[in-house]
Amino acid sequence: MQNWPSWIPTPRSWLNAIALILLVIGLRYALIAIFMIFAVITQPPAKYGYLFSLIIQLSPILIVSLTHHWLHRILDNFFTDTRVSERVTEQGLFPNLISWWEGFYGWFASSLSDMIILCIYGFFSPETEVFNFFTLSQFQLETQQIIPMIIRVIIVAYLYNLQYLVHQHLIAAGRGATD
């Protein structure tokens, strides 16, 4: 990857972006179902609904962290050639700091891409109220969701590429400082 232009996301960035978007799509459907079940069963007061909503909004951090941790544990055990040399092997049942960072960064990248898509939609939409997007998107055909999904993948791939470039720069600076 040394000859790869820095302004084009690496294949690893594209793979991370696609995996994150697929994971977030699955999480959204699952969390909406869980929230509906919780709301029907408990009939919570508004303050508990807000608390549960906050937990649902932040739960992708935990899910992505656990997924990252266990995926790297499996890859380190079965495909030792794929391990990055600067990376410490994953140990234990719970995520380490790097996995928590990946969980937070995945949540941040997904949320930022959602906000950018909403801004683009609000700018180019003939609708006078941007928030109609939330009600309209539930009833749109799946083929009408393809363009926003492609834009989300591109945004997240560039964000992961930015993370990769910063990581490589920090590693190079650290090696330069120790030499």
Give the model's confidence band at 156: pLDDT under 50 very low, under 70 low, under 90 confident, else very high: very high
Rounded CA-CA distance 80/114 in Å is 35
Give the model's confidence band at 141: pLDDT under 50 very low, under 70 low, under 90 confident, else very high: very low
Q: Rounded mean pLDDT of 137-146? A: 53
Higher-scoring residue by pLDDT: 44, 33: 33
Helices marked H in the chain: 11-42, 46-78, 97-124, 132-137, 146-178
> What pLDDT does 153 receive?
93
AA letter at 76: D
Give the global pTM.
0.76
Buried b (16+ CB within 10 A) or exposed e, 12-38: ebbebbebbbebbeebeeebeeeeeee
Q: Do 90 and 72 touch, CB atoms closer than 8 A?
A: yes
Statement: residue 134 has pLDDT above 70: no
pLDDT over 90 for what percent of the chain?
12
Statement: residue 55 has pLDDT above 70: yes
Q: How many C-beta atoms surround the C-beta of residue 60 within 10 A?
A: 23
Rounded CA-CA distance 22/10 in Å is 19
Nearest to 137 by CA among 145, 125, 149: 145
pLDDT over 70 for what percent of the chain?
77
Spans of all domains in the chain: 11-168
How distant, in Å, are the alpha carbons of 58, 80, 87 from that of 154?
23, 30, 26
> What pLDDT does 36 receive?
79
Q: Rounded mean pLDDT of 70-99? A: 70
> What pLDDT does 126 receive?
67
> What pLDDT does 143 receive?
45
Higher-scoring residue by pLDDT: 150, 3: 150
> What pLDDT does 147 receive?
81
